Structure 1
Amino acid sequence: MPHLTLIETFLAVLVAIFALPYLVWRLGRTEYVAPLVVVQILAGILLGPGVLGAALPALHAALFPPDVITMLNGIAMWGVMLFVFVAGLELDLKAAWRWRGETGVTAGLAFGTPMLLGAGAGGLVLALDGRAAWVGAEGQDWQFIAGVGMACAVTALPILVLFLEKLAMLRDTLGQRVLRYASLDDIAIWAVLALILLDWERVGRQAAFIALLVPAVLLVRWAMARLPQRDRWYVALVWLALLGLAADWSGLHFMVGAFIAGAVLDGEWFGQERVDRFRDTVLLALMPVFFLSTGLKTQWSAGGWTVAGFAALLLAASVAGKLGGVALAGRFLRWRQGEAWLIGWLLQTKALIMIIFANVLLDKQIITPASFTALLLCAVASTMLTVPFATPALRRLRASDGAT
């Protein structure tokens, strides 16, 4: 290819990031099996070293020199922080508390069952294949096993919101129940991630972060409640950057700080419609860059079939755990027939949050690029299964409502 300047190369990459997934999604009409967000993730994988880099190494090297990768990573980091912040804003903790009995039982089983099966899958792969290919340089076996288990328990709340909108059930009673379960699981996921990342050499910084967090949250909430809505967004962005900085400085991760920054604020302060528009804008304009930068981390160094086999094992643990846990909750709480099957598939969607979770583990060198690739493939596959299984389940449930 002709020699391009740094800016020209960067813009050429942006053209590929935004044009290729859109054309595949629109012309291929993949919405039912692979929504645009899934196609964008797959495009990132295809443009990464595992596919394009292996097939056309010279082209891959020309498109992704170190300076371009640095520029992409900066945009991706801020984009994913905004996205995780909105995921925190979307938590309705008041509703979860109001229905705490039912929510606690369902969320606990939907979280705990796939976590245990996922941890079992992680322990099995270490027993059969050793740790060298899967555990990162800074990771311990228990961190790897716990991290894999947590990844299998994830529900991607922002993508779940998009799917609920697609299925026209976001604002109905059942949709709100699903959001409550996912919200409580999101809190547990990020709390356990913080424990996995606990660095005993930096425990003083982390203790300081936690100690200062409480008065800081009280101060920000006091200020937010008194600010006009137009000012809250500016203050929220400052708060997001500040908490991301503090969390990363403490040895946790800037993503943990981003989630906490949103979770401690009330979404109603920002207006539901504006939050929805903001989330959709971030998803449209910034997150495709994150998907590309994620794809650049995919590797098949442990052997393609080995990675694919681990991904299949994780997918089986994730699906069986989520469906089984929700089925137990439905039996215990005496749900009507068909509800547990539908809710289990809706909570199965992982996509962005599992990928973000895996990125954190990779950044902290708890897992290797091969483990990251297996988790990434599991996240994509589980998300692609959601709508095809949830749609007929919802149709049957609504038909039974009409019959009664």
Structure 2
Amino acid sequence: MSPDATVTHVIAALAIVIATAHALGAAARRLRQPAVIGQLFAGIALGPSLLGLAPGHMYENLFPLQIRPVLTAVAQLALVLFLFAVGYELDLGLLRGRRAVWAVALGGFAIPMLTGIATALFFRRGFAAVNGGNPVDATFVLFLAVALSITAVPVLAAVIRDQGLSGTVAGAVAMAAAGLVDVLSWPVLAFVLVGGEHGSVASWAVRIALLALYVLVMVFVVRPLLVWWKRRPGTLVADDVPVAVAVALGSAWATNALGLHVIFGALLAGVIMPRQPDGVPDSRLLGPLQETGGLLLPVFFAVSGLAVDLRGLHPSDGLVLLLLCAVATVSKVGAGTLSARAVRSSWPDAVVTGLLLNTRGLTELIVLDVGLRAGVIGSRLYTLLVVMALFTTAATGPSLGLLRRIRGARTVSDASAAMGDPEPAPRQ
């Protein structure tokens, strides 16, 4: 394929991907689901699972092998910008948060982690059968545990808004706890990937030491330079955006060179980026990055969808999928509910908190993409975990609606009993 033909194919593919993701995202919102659900499904629909079934080799013509590296590069750029914005918005003041936030975050992280470890160990043979020949070793066990403990903060914010839970105790606690879960999850995932590299103990120790040194350089060298840059005389906000993008891309390259994924460098760059004097992110800096990252994220969904091949699943894989969905839901909802109840939340608020924490969405897909590229999981298990992420995220809204109807029915029943309404006469 000539360079001109490659460019033409890339432009056509980007147009179709972005338009399809926007259309299905809008359809998801009409169904009272987060837009990301429709966008995730768009990625799968444009992959071999659905488009690959169309006549005329439409899938191969739209995504020929020659353009996939270009689409992958665009997808990684979208992730870098998106994760930089997530890191910039991350409020480390949550670490000094209320006792309820800490309890729910630790419970919502530790219990699914331990449940994931136990599940991987007890069903080692079943996971080995769907993992595409990749070893079910300690790295796999820890990775599965992290995958089950993730909560997607951006998607959770959309669910809280759409369900009218903004300003409620359950919504505030779940949102803050989800942020803390991310703070705990990303370092563990980084440790899993570094520890999973083949090599001697000495090389592993060197890699850890280099990573620690890099973090120190970012915190104590790069951050002060950024503070000076923002406070220099005659500074313009317009100058901050390209500097922030350059720092994000450079940090992403550095962590990738250290054997990690680009997302870790992007997150770290966002965390160290100076905020406004009152500690609030600068919306004039954050806005362009969020808009650009959000516009390109459908490309990441499409690239991820290329690895989702439902046609390659076996009938027996349904049992593994049911196991993953059950373990992910029970461990997350149960952990969030019991942790909130332990700090004296009411049972209804505690259940709402647990249901909200079960939202995985985009963050889960990022984690799975990291595991797939690192060779920790194979394509079949990747497909099953993506379906699990879609199920747990899509089930959050209906579950909250069902809980609301149950609470409403009980309220009416209690009110009727309090008023002394007679019980209905038995049928003759």
Which residue, out of 285, 288, 298, partners 2:298? 288
Task: Map 1:25-174 to 2 at 5 A.
Answer: 25-26=25-26, 28=27, 30-56=29-55, 58-99=57-98, 101-127=99-125, 129=126, 131-134=128-131, 137=134, 139-170=135-166, 174=170
Note the aligned Cα RMSD (angstroms). 2.9
Q: What's the CA shift for 1:133?
A: 3.1
Amino acid at match of 1:193: L
**TM-score scaled to structure 2, two decimals?**
0.82
In the alignment, structure 1 segments of 5+ residues that lack a partner are: none
Find the residue that maps to 1:365 and give its secondary structure. coil
Instruction: Write the distance in 1 (CA, Å) between the matches of 2:275 and 2:384.
Output: 34
Query: How many equivalent residue pairs?
Result: 393
Find the residue that maps to 2:346 and give its secondary structure. coil
2:25·2:37 contact (CA, 8 Å) conserved in 1?
Answer: no
Which is higher, the Rg of structure 1 or of structure 2? 2
Deviations 1:51-77 (A, max 9, x none): 322454722111111222112111100
Partner of 1:188: 184
Q: Quick check: 1:243 aligned with 2:251?
A: yes
Judged with a 3 Å threshold, the aligned counterparts in structure 2 of structure 1 residues 234 and 23 are, in CA distance, closer, same or farther, namely closer
Q: What's the CA shift for 1:15?
A: 2.9
Judged with a 3 Å threshold, the aligned counterparts in structure 2 of structure 1 residues 15 and 236 are, in CA distance, closer, same or farther, namely closer
Instruction: Write the distance in 2 (CA, Å) between the matches of 1:56 and 1:121.
Output: 41
2:82·2:290 contact (CA, 8 Å) conserved in 1?
Answer: no
Amino acid at match of 2:267: F
Q: Quick check: 1:383 aligned with 2:393?
A: yes
1:224·1:232 contact (CA, 8 Å) conserved in 2?
Answer: no
Amino acid at match of 1:368: G
Amino acid at match of 1:253: H
2:150·2:363 contact (CA, 8 Å) conserved in 1?
Answer: yes
Instruction: Write the distance in 1 (CA, Å) between the matches of 2:55 and 2:280.
Output: 47
Find the residue that maps to 2:375 and give its secondary structure. coil
Judged with a 3 Å threshold, the aligned counterparts in structure 2 of structure 1 residues 315 and 327 are, in CA distance, closer, same or farther, namely same
Deviations 1:153-202 (A, max 9, x none): 10011212222333454466553322221111101111111111123634
Deviations 1:68-110 (A, max 9, x none): 21121111001011112222222211133142x3322211111
Partner of 1:366: 376
Amino acid at match of 1:233: V
Task: Map 1:226-375 to 2 at 5 A.
Answer: 226=228, 227=230, 228=235, 230=237, 231-265=239-273, 268=276, 271=281, 273-274=283-284, 277-278=287-288, 280-282=290-292, 284-300=294-310, 303-375=313-385
Q: Which deviates more from structure 2 when the two are superposed, residues 361-370 or residues 212-221?
A: 212-221
1:85·1:258 contact (CA, 8 Å) conserved in 2?
Answer: yes
**TM-score scaled to structure 1, two decimals?**
0.87
2:337·2:353 contact (CA, 8 Å) conserved in 1?
Answer: no
